[in-house]
Amino acid sequence: MNFLKYVFKHRHRLHDSQNQQAGSAGSPADQTLPVATNIQANIDLLTTLYKDCSDIVFHQFTVYGTTQAFLIYIEDMSDIELIDQQVLAPLQNAADFNASVGNLAKNISVCHAKELASMEEAVGQISKGNPVMFIDGYEKAISLGVAKWAKRSIEEPVAESVVRGPRLGFTETIGVNTSLLRRSIKSPALKMKLLKIGQYTQTEVVVTYIEGIADMNLVNEVISRLKRIEIDGIIDSAYIEELIGDNAMSPFPQLMSTERPDAVSANLLEGRVGIIIEGSPFVLVAPITLFSLLQSPEDYYQSFWAGSLIRWLRYFFFVIALTVPSAYVAILTYHQEMIPTTLLLSVAKSREEIPFPALVEALLMEITFEALREAGLRLPKQVGAAVSIVGALVIGQAAISAGLVSSPMVMVVAFTGIASFTFPRYTLGIAVRLLRFPLMFLAGFLGLLGLMLGIILIVIHLSTLRSFGVPYLSPLAPLKKNELGDVLIRAPLWTRDKRPHLSNGLYNAYRQVPGLQPKPPQGEDAG
């Protein structure tokens, strides 16, 4: 462990009794450093580790006036009042401390008090905000679960708002996020496995799945990829997403990131795996497909007619956002005969004083639009939306008046930008925005032939792309007829008897009993 390497590196500073406890044989990688019975050795060790840490508090006291003890915690991360009332006062006024020393953790009236046998465990608890107590002559430390730090309240997700549906969103606290999932899925089959990643951050990562539904081969693969990560620190879920994907060079996201507990719960019930990261309000879900990125949780909160219509609109706007600027450049540059005469005359009139070819004109407007979009995101909320909207209107009108771009090009770019806002997943929108530029270059140099070549290359890439072994275009390619009902349309809930088959392993295929379609009452009940 990294902590042990650091400790052994500085062993010459430690007390002789601590060195005897740790032993001299073996390497730091395969040893644990036990808590010393000599309290001064523990103080020396922790003082060395937390040198120049002004927020670390060492509080020394005596138990029953005879036994030396000390408490170490991080200031402003522990509940000081609870420590004084439930820990220090009872121990300092204990009538017979020696009688209870072997059962100390059970005699402290604090929830989550537990014994720690190694210094590595002690440092881990201190970093979480839990005070750790050491007592002279006692071979174990006591962790006190009284961590207290500022955390954000549960709010509605900003990036995934819905008209109808739950208003709960994940926060940066991993305990809050796991409890939100427990509120939704109350079965003990919901499993959560804890990992720690990052040499310095020691970020907690929870892998969650439903036992009996998720394929254990998939679960083990997720855990294996996470354990392979050796890095200084994990700051956000995006770090994990980039390090465990199947194809690091693909612009398309291979894991779904969401702030919505209901979306994660729905995916867990389909056999997928969730990854919760401490410090990030975005939970990762794997595996995914292209079609799952185009689906919104609200599809299932409206009628299946409305859900199907909105889903088809998203598919249509996905194609629009990817190809319309390129098609406009190709047709205007090489294939004017495809434009109706009246429209062609109108376009020609608007472009007669434009000094740039259609490709340069499109690139100029697209880059300007992307700059305005980025400025709107980075500016304060009070002025961000106003700047992006007013900026687009003013710059667009000014560019037309100055003769730099034509009116049809402004309309094409604006329509494309609106289409890109319809994607439920922001990461998919980024991929489409990136691919739009090489498609415009191909269309500008080769016309519609270049556009078709670019689309073919994208389809080939999507056909070979995998998300934890699941084909990215599944269930369309490879074709799975029984799963198309929830892709081409939003199938009614009473028709979705089976879960999607995500892997080749054994899985629980049925999610509900057949025949749940509502029917009018018959016979005696009809009256």
pLDDT tens digits for range 79-96:
888 888 777 777 776 655
Neighbours of 415 (CB within 10 A): 15
318: confidence class by pLDDT, cuts 50, 70, 90: very high
Residue 519: CB atoms within 10 A of its CB come to 7
Query: Above 90 in pLDDT, residue 521?
Result: no
Q: pLDDT tens across 483-497, in order? A: 888 888 888 888 888
**Smallest Cα–Cα separation from 250: which of 463, 72, 407?**
463
Q: Where are the domains of the chain?
A: 2-143, 174-288, 321-471
97 φ, ψ (degrees, to nearest 5): -70, -40
Q: How far is CA 63 from CA 45, 115, 520, in A?
A: 22, 18, 75
Measured between alpha carbons, how far is 281 from 244 in angstroms, rounded to an integer? Answer: 19
Which of 213-227, 317-331, 346-360, 383-397 is least confident? 383-397
More confident residue, 511 or 230: 230
Note whether 67 and 41 are within 8 A (CB): no
pLDDT class of 524 with cuts at 50, 70, 90: low
Distant-in-sequence, close-in-space partners of 377: CB < 8 Å, separation ≥ 6: 384
As a whole number of angstroms, the distance between CA 295 and CA 310 comes to 9
Token representation of residue 53 = 């840490």
pLDDT digits (tens, 9 = 90+) for 261-300: 999 999 999 889 999 999 899 999 999 999 999 998 888 8
In this structure, of 91-100, 178-187, 266-275, 373-382, the range with the lowest mean pLDDT score is 91-100
Is residue 171 over pLDDT 80?
A: yes
Beta bridge partners of 192: 208
How far out from the chain centre does Cα 314 lie?
A: 23
CA distance 420 to 426: 9
- Between CA 513 and CA 516 the distance in angstroms is 7
Give CB contacts under 8 A, 24+ apart, made by 462-466: 462/252, 462/290, 465/246, 465/247, 465/250, 465/252, 465/254, 466/246, 466/247, 466/254, 466/287
Q: Across residues 173-194, what is the average pLDDT?
A: 92
Q: How far apart are CA 165 and CA 466, in angstroms?
A: 31
Q: Is the pLDDT of residue 470 over 50?
A: yes
pLDDT of residue 21: 45
High-pLDDT (> 70) share of the chain, %: 86
Q: State the pLDDT at residue 25.
A: 38
CB atoms within 10 A of CB 163: 7
pLDDT of residue 424 exceeding 80, the answer is: yes
Beta-carbon neighbour count of residue 526 at 10 Å? 7
Least confident of 99-103, 189-193, 282-286: 99-103
- Give the closest residue to 203 by CA, choosing from 171, 232, 165, 243: 232
Task: Give residue 448's pLDDT.
Answer: 93
Q: Which residues pair with 118 in a beta bridge?
A: 34
Residue 196: CB partners within 8 Å, gap ≥ 6?
A: 124, 202, 203, 204, 205
Q: What is the pTM of this model?
A: 0.84
308 by DSSP, 3-state: which? helix
Residue 114 confidence (pLDDT) = 83
**62-81 tens-digit pLDDT:** 877 677 888 999 888 888 88
Tell me the pLDDT of the chain averaged across its residues. 83
User: What is the average pLDDT across 387-404?
Assistant: 71
Distance, CA of 97 to CA of 104 (rounded, Å): 9
Model confidence at 180, pLDDT cuts 50, 70, 90, reads very high
Residue with token string 């795996």:
273
Distances from the Cα of 107 to the Cαs of 65, 69, 114, 169, 256, in angstroms? 18, 16, 11, 38, 46
